[in-house]
Amino acid sequence: MNKYKNASVRLFVLILAVALLAACTTSRKAVKEPIKEQGAEYLVKKLKEHELKYQQFSAKFSATYEVDQKQTTVSGNIRIEHDSIIWISISPALGIEAVRFMLTPDSIKYLNRLSDTYLLQGFDYINKLLNKSMDYDMAQAFITGNDFSLYDLSSFKASVDNKEYKLNTVNRSKIRRTVRRSEDNISIPIQYIWLNSENFKISKVLIKEAERDSRKFIATYSEFKDIDGRLIPSNLEFKAETDEKKISIKIIYTRIQINQKQNYLFKIPEGYSEIKDLQPEK
């Protein structure tokens, strides 16, 4: 009897030793090794390979908007037809739509159901509001966590920063053959892009003026979700800083869908009044 008992004890000790060894091995593997330096050409290639590729994108979202330390929380829906339309519906409470936006490469449309007003402007109106050069391609990229598709890729420099890859460039210019002549001179003064070292997705983007450090735009991305084999950030934060004010928008995506049929309705109801500028509601 003791013979079997001793054999059982030895077997138990052996199993325990193997389990501890496996745990230690797993623990050692969990410790990340320092990432290796990589050239800019390699990192840009990886960035483009791992970007979100889609024709249609849609998601429900909740967002917190903060300006001058005053917060507003809303929810809504966003839909994108790649390179064509960005459609956004915003509902402050109870799921009742209050505001609808539709952006195209040439225009911005705005409908306010609370004040029975609408606005129709060229896309340049966005730059007037932000006091900053932005185009449709940039807006689309920020919303989906991608890089800008119409801008030069040859001037980046690479480095490693806090266990992530970092790309930076100065005066990144538009590819002229793909845009209208009026946009030929648009460029990005200084841009930094941080890449996750494991999946090469963008984790952060910083754009700032060359002469004025206080004027900058920062986008950060986290909580990536696998949607139909595509990694998509579900937590986004945008910060715009100038000498006068700081604006922050935090967005959480839910119910993300890729390449599902969707509509982009934008009909102005009878009796609505046209406005020429967006002013805070009183």
Position 129 pLDDT exceeds 50:
yes
Nearest to 198 by CA among 26, 48, 24, 46: 46
The whole-number average pLDDT for the span 93-109 is: 91
Q: What is the mean pLDDT of the chain?
A: 85
Range from 20-29, 63-72, 120-129, 142-151 carrying the lowest mean pLDDT: 20-29
Give the start-to-end residue ranges of the domains of the chain: 1-31, 40-274
CATH number of 40-274: 2.50.20.10
pLDDT band at 158 (very low <50, low <70, confident <90, very high): very high
Structure tokens at 125: 């109106």
Report long-range pairs for 277-281 (Cβ below 8 Å, ≥24 apart).
Answer: 277/119, 278/110, 278/119, 278/129, 281/114, 281/115
Range from 21-25, 136-140, 230-234, 258-262 carrying the lowest mean pLDDT: 21-25
- For the chain, what is the largest distance between any 2 Cα atoms, rounded to a whole number of angstroms? 96
Report the alpha-carbon distance of residue 196 to residue 202 in Å, rounded.
6
Structure confidence by residue, pLDDT tens digits, 174-223: 885 444 544 555 678 899 999 999 999 999 999 988 766 678 899 999 99
Report the alpha-carbon distance of residue 228 to residue 231 in Å, rounded.
8
Whole-number pLDDT of residue 23: 43
Whole-number pLDDT of residue 282: 42
Whole-number pLDDT of residue 133: 74
Q: Could you tell me what percent of the chain has a pLDDT over 70?
A: 80
Residue 16: how many other CB atoms lie within 10 Å = 10
The whole-number average pLDDT for the span 219-241 is: 96
Using an 8 Å Cβ cutoff, are 75 and 60 in contact?
yes
